Amino acid sequence: GIQVEQSPPDLILQEGANSTLRCNFSDSVNNLQWFHQNPWGQLINLFYIPSGTKQNGRLSATTVATERYSLLYISSSQTTDSGVYFCAVTPYKLVFGAGTILRVKS
Amino acid sequence: KAGVTQTPRYLIKTRGQQVTLSCSPISGHRSVSWYQQTPGQGLQFLFEYFSETQRNKGNFPGRFSGRQFSNSRSEMNVSTLELGDSALYLCASSLGGSGVYEQYFGPGTRLTVT
């Protein structure tokens, strides 16, 4: 089945720093989503981005479907950005990567 | 518009018992998918229902089952619970099939099996 790899697995930032999270996938997909999982376990939708570039405030994402990768940019990070970030792709179901654990220190 | 709701939020069961979890999708959404999250295996797909029919199934034993009602609400059942079934169970809803439409997740049910 399709494989999803996220990097880096862990990331520690100082408040105000910028970061880039990467998601590689092994086959063509219908859909790609980025999620932020909060400490209570809820998956918050960040982007639905099968291709192209989107921005939402301090966050933006780019998916290059032909090269099978997606990037999530976080600018001017805040402590509330801490948590786990997941990339998930769909052939017909969501296949999740292992996630990136982000810790933002004040 | 209200989000996806799941009940109960927390559950403690004993090995051998069975459990039923409930999920109410966003109004107008007809597809409901279930996922299991554990520290060792990450997030894994259980099954998807659309218009009361199971469309896709993940690689889980037959002890895991589900159904969907005419109002799109869904339930999943786990029979003969094992310690390894302790997990966060997440439900997601989408307008149509999960292959194309954006999925939205509920807050999850945290199941502990003792």
> What confidence tier does B98 reach under pLDDT thresholds 50, 70, 90?
low
Set of chain B residues whose Cβ sits within 8 Å of the Cβ of A48: 102
pLDDT for B90 equals 98
Please give the average per-residue pLDDT across A13-18, as a whole number. 97
Q: Are strands B64-68 and B53-57 parallel, antiparallel or unpaired?
A: unpaired
DSSP A78-92: -GGG-EEEEEEEESS
Distance CA B16, CA A75 (A): 49
- B99, A98: Cβ pair inside 8 Å? no
Percentage, residues of chain B above pLDDT 90:
92
B87 alpha carbon, distance to own chain's centre: 11
Please report the DSSP string for B18-62 in residue order. Answer: -EEEEEEPPTT--EEEEEEEETTTEEEEEEEEETTEEEEE-S--T
Token reading at B90: 């997440």
What integer best gives the mean pLDDT of chain B?
Answer: 95
In this prediction, residue A91 has a pLDDT band, given cuts at 50, 70 and 90, of confident
**Could you say which of A31, A35, A40 has the minimum Cβ distance to residue B99?**
A31
Span B49-92, pLDDT tens digits: 999 999 999 999 999 999 999 999 999 999 999 999 999 999 99
